[in-house]
Amino acid sequence: GAVELKTEEDKPKVLAGGGKIITATEVKVNISIPDGAKRAFETGADGVGLFRIEHMVLGLPKHPMKYIKDGEVEEYVQKLYEGMKVVVDTFYPKPVWIRTIDAPTDEFRAMEGGEDEPIEANPMLGFRGIRRDLIEEEHFRAEIRAIKRLVEEGYTNIGIMLPLITRVDEVRRAKQIIMEEGLPLSKIEFGIMVETPAAALIIEDLVKEGIDFVSFGTNDLTQYTIAVDRNNENVAYLYDETHPAVMKLIEHVIKVCRKHGVKTSICGQAGSYPKVVEKLVRLGIDSVSANPDAVERVRETVARVEKRIMLDRLRDE
């Protein structure tokens, strides 16, 4: 198992100004609301590995599709733009990966104006993530327009990340819409979340569509791999992000991505577990993104693992 730091001497010696540990594997931070950007930045994180924009949207006075139906799409784009700008600007020039909207129908229904949301027996397997954005295409276009505005202002640190990918045509269609909106893919980083077994198993095909990065959404990847609803208390005892099946999928994806020069990252909760971090760093993951309060700890774990890898190599020579 992972060895915990016990004394000051055990700590990695590679320190930068302010005592921040430098690691080869980047340590990033997850963000849910623009108001959290400053605190997240102060962790010294190497960027934002996941900006969950749905929290910002669920807090709006009106359901997003209502803005669109009421002919107020520009007002909605403006709101997205303002929220995104706070995060993108706070971190500039460090990268910010903005995830397109991903909330299940039950969460949308709970918001102001959400009464028209469909009632689903299994919201986690339902109308959410990329599938929703490709049906409610006007919504996806609004997100892209908000990002395009930032790109036109000169921000070069933006990534777009698609949630709940299961199919090649989802990536293809999303790219097509981004281009139709006049946002050149060369001006952003483009990536997908790997949070379904389907995405992990067809990663070779997804990579061929042209993606810059993947990020493991282990919260979802776990529930879909081992058939345990992440919100169901009755089976919570089975919810294990370190299940060998989950780890095998991740290992496969990292191997394929490394072969093709696609960056890999993790933004699920498992990225804060020392044993998982150790395994992923050894597999060659490029970054780990954690909640603000975990960034420091993850950075220490990464540094310790990297040091051990280097020492092992020296010994082997």
- The answer to the question of residue 286 lying near Mg ion (CB under 5 A) is no
Q: Which stretch binds ligand PEP (CB under 6 A): 72-80, 151-159, 218-226, 291-299?
A: 218-226
Instruction: Select from 11-19, 35-43, 199-207, 215-223 the region that touches ligand PEP (CB under 6 A).
Output: 215-223
| C-beta of 47 vs 217, nearer to Mg ion | 217
Measured CA to CA, the distance from residue 272 to residue 290 in angstroms comes to 6
Peptide bond into 93 cis (omega under 30): yes
Residue 132 near ligand PEP by CB under 6 A: no
Does 218 help bind ligand PEP (rule: CB under 6 A)?
Answer: yes
Q: How many of the chain's residues bind Mg ion (CB under 5 A)?
A: 3
The residue range among 137-145, 169-177, 191-199, 279-287 that interacts with Mg ion, by the rule CB under 5 A, is 191-199
Partner interacting with residue 254 (select from ligand PEP, Mg ion, none; CB below 5-8 Å by kind): none
Decide: is 36 part of the binding site for ligand PEP (CB under 6 A).
Answer: no
Is 181 within 8 Å of 119 (Cβ atoms)? Answer: no
Question: Does 54 help bind Mg ion (rule: CB under 5 A)?
Answer: no
3-class secondary-structure state, position 277 = helix
The DSSP line for 205-241 is HHHHTT-SEEEE-HHHHHHHHHT--TT-GGGGGG--T
Contact residue for Mg ion among 117, 143, 220, 306 (CB under 5 A): 220
289 Rama sector, left if φ>0, alpha if ψ -120 to 50, beta otherwise: beta
Cα–Cα distance, 297 to 83 (Å, whole number): 28
- Is 267 a binding residue for ligand PEP by CB under 6 A? The answer is yes
CB nearer ligand PEP, residue 78 or residue 219? 219
Q: Return the residue of 66, 136, 219, 258 that touches ligand PEP, per CB under 6 A.
A: 219
Residue 52 makes contact with ligand PEP by CB under 6 A: yes
Q: Is 268 in the site for ligand PEP (CB under 6 A)?
A: yes
Q: Which long-range contacts (CB under 8 A, 24 or more apart) does 84-89 make?
A: 84/34, 84/51, 84/53, 84/146, 84/147, 84/150, 85/150, 86/34, 86/35, 86/37, 87/31, 87/34, 87/37, 87/48, 87/51, 88/150, 88/155, 88/157, 88/158, 89/155
Query: Which range of residues in 45-53, 148-156, 192-200, 303-311 is near Mg ion by CB under 5 A?
Result: 192-200
Q: How far is the CB of 32 from ligand PEP (least distance, A)?
A: 9
Q: How far is the CB of 176 from ligand PEP (least distance, A)?
A: 24
Work out whether 203 is an interface residue with ligand PEP (CB under 6 A).
no
Q: Closest by alpha carbon to 162, among 177, 174, 146? A: 174
For residues 151, 269, 58, 63, the Cα torsion angle rounded to the nearest 10 degrees is 80
* Cβ proximity of 23 and 287 under 8 Å: no
Pick the binder of ligand PEP from 117, 220, 278, 306 (CB under 6 A): 220
Does position 217 interact with ligand PEP (CB under 6 A)? The reply is yes
What are the tokens at 97? 């990966």
Residues of this chain that bind ligand PEP (CB under 6 A): 50, 52, 102, 195, 217-220, 267-268
Residues of this chain that bind Mg ion (CB under 5 A): 195, 217, 220
